[in-house]
Each structure stands twice: as structure tokens, then as C-alpha cells.
Amino acid sequence: RYYDWLPVLLALDAQVGVAAADGTRRTLSAAQLAGDGRWTLPDGLLTEVTIRRDGNPRLAFVRRLKPALSVAVALRDGAGLREARIAVACMHEAPIVRALAATVAAEEIAAAFPDAHDDGWASGSYRRRMVGVLAGRALAALQERGTPG
């Protein structure tokens, strides 16, 4: 299912290469795969994943509440850039990503995402609260690690 790899690709702002059966190739952003709220896997074979290296990207992926929620957090903080990209899955029909300040608080993270759905795994209010908690902890852990040497 998408909830493991697509949030990671979204958080890293990745590009994916797809080869179709007829030999044509195309490159899509992870955001294009997520679409307009509907997860769309193109026909063909995933042939490559490209991740920008600018800003010293670091990633944390938290899936301990799956299938209620999974969270991917990418932090870029080099060359004057300081950005956190937070992607969530299992909270909406398709994964969603938000670019936020690297110093954002848990409450602000939760408020950045639309209301979540209720289902047999968790309520929407629980998911929304937990996205702030889990993403906030992941972001703090990435900031503590600092720049790899």
C-alpha cells in the first residue's frame, strides 16, 4: 500500500521515473502521484527515485500508529535553507504534505493539515492530535542530530 513509501517521497520532494510497457519514459513528482486527493500509480515500472541533495536532507519516518497514521518528516538546513516537509498518510484519502518552518510547534503542525477522517482504526481528532505529536518529536530528533559530519 502507498502509506509506507509515498509519504517518504513526498517529504523528500522526490521525483520518480516510470517506464511504460510501450517503451516511453516519464518523470513525475511525488506530489503528482498523490494527485488531487486520489492516489494515482501510473501504468509502468518504477525505474528510479531522485532526491534533491541541496540543504542536507535528513529524514525520519514514524509508522508506529499504522494503519491509523504514518508520518514522514524531512529537514533541510544547509546553504541558508531551513525547511521541514511533513507528509502524512492514513489520515486522508491520499497522503498530504506541508512545507513548514523548521521551528514549528506541534500544535501548528496539526493545524496545518485538513480535518482527518474517522474510521475503525482511529477518530479524526485523534489522528490530527497525533500528527502534531509524532511529527514534532521526529523534527526535534532530526534537529538534535545536527549536520552529519
Residue pLDDT, tens place only, 82-99: 889 999 998 988 889 999
**Identity at 35, one-letter amino acid code:** G
Dihedral-angle region of residue 21 (phi above 0 means left; psi in -120 to 50 means alpha; beta otherwise): alpha
| pTM assigned to the model | 0.85
Q: What pLDDT does residue 149 have?
A: 41
User: Residue 71: helix, strand or coil by DSSP?
Assistant: strand
All cell numbers assigned to 62: 514514524
| Residue-wise pLDDT tens digits, 10-54 | 999 999 898 988 888 888 888 787 665 555 667 788 899 999 888
Exposure pattern of 93-111 as b/e (b: 16+ CB <10 Å)?
A: ebbbbbebeeebebeebbe
Q: What pLDDT does residue 41 have?
A: 65
| Residue-wise pLDDT tens digits, 135-144 | 999 999 998 8
- Which is nearest to 98 in space by CA: 66, 134, 135, 141? 135
Q: Which helix (H) or strand (E) holds 8?
A: helix 2-11
User: Residue 41: helix, strand or coil by DSSP?
Assistant: coil
C-alpha to C-alpha distance for 47 and 61, rounded to whole angstroms: 23
- Could you tell me how far CA 73 lies from the centroid of its own chain? 6
Q: Which of 1-10, 46-55, 104-113 is the least confident region?
A: 1-10
Q: How many CB atoms sit inside 10 A of residue 12's CB?
A: 22
